[in-house]
Amino acid sequence: MLPTKAGRAKRYKGQRRHSSFYVGQHLYHWLQLHQMFPKNIEELMQISRYRLKDYIKGQRAISLALSTF
């Protein structure tokens, strides 16, 4: 990763943001937040439509996570 002007390291497309260990560690909290604020999440998706692709990926991940419990 190369540092950018803002001080944040630039990520390339092939790099993950979080490791599998991190996701597993924080999954329970993410599921709780998703269940607590479904209306807020839907409203945010109406405002920022450019994030819809990420939102759909997140919805798929949540459904997979819920199927394990």
pTM tops 0.75: no
Strand partners, 9: 3
Burial of 42 (0-12, 13-18, 19+ CB in 10 A): exposed
Comparing CA positions, the residue from 30, 38, 19, 39 lying closest to residue 65 is 30
Q: Say whether pLDDT at 39 is over 70.
A: yes
Mean pLDDT of 14-28: 76
Residue 58, CA atoms < 13 Å, CB-side half-sphere: 14
- Residue with more model confidence, 5 or 60: 60
